[in-house]
Amino acid sequence: MPEGDTVYRTARHLNAVLAGRQLTRCDIRVPAFATVDLSGETVDEVVSRGKHLLIRVGEYSIHSHLAMEGSWHVYRPGTKWRRPAWQARTILANAEWIAVGFQLGLLEVIARDDERDVVGHLGPDPLAADWDADEALARLTSDPFREIGLTLLDQRVIAGLGNVYRNELCFLGGVLPTRPTGEIGHPEKLVDLAHRLIMANRDRVDRTTTGTLRGATTWVYRREAEPCLRCGTSILHGRLGDSDLELRDTYWCPRCQT
């Protein structure tokens, strides 16, 4: 499931093959931007912000969001694609590489000066050089009545945390996803844990929150009815959402989390 660490690695991979090279092909298969052709322009850099990806080309940025099904692949010219061509939303090529964005949840071309319009609402990014823990804490605690499981999933609070991290952070913090944020003791520890956890996974293809890639790689996420790795109690499953966030799956240990 694409979360901030996945997008971070994607940006780094794309940057390695696109940055500093001139585009020989720019095929954007979204009706509103189908006539945009940046061929001949040089890619300056590829960066991530939370779950958003920005490919900066001259005065423009190609802005994409993976959503649930999207992914970027990189190929050598003439190499067979691993996904069908009809799923491609954009193809960016230079003399050495071809980058293909498949089933992207969002794809648009914007003026680089307008990037703030699409990512300016995001909270601090734990994987960014400008990570600001104090700002993240202020946003986390701004609504003390909102459930912590919703607060952690809100990209306006901390950018890049998805449903996996939401559930795992609640377990590691010993709190139920439905606990009001204002009742969380030492919320700064939860912010620090979020930063350390996603940083630990930023260079891994296979994500783990338990510290191992052998056996269970998550404490509670998608482990409904399985025994808690700490106490043996069966993991429970539910759904949580509000007017700002759609219903998403929650998992918790009724003994370890209160």
Give catalytic residues, as residue numbers. Answer: 2-3, 51, 248
Question: What Cα–Cα distance (Å) separates residue 199 from each residue in 27, 188, 191?
Answer: 34, 17, 12
Per-residue b or e along 4-27, where b marks 16 or more CB atoms closer than 10 Å to that residue's CB: bbbbbbbbeebbebbeeeebeebe
Question: What Cα–Cα distance (Å) separates residue 111 from each residue in 58, 92, 117, 136, 212?
Answer: 9, 18, 10, 28, 43
Sheet of 98-102, strands arranged across: 25-28, 88-93, 98-102, 71-75
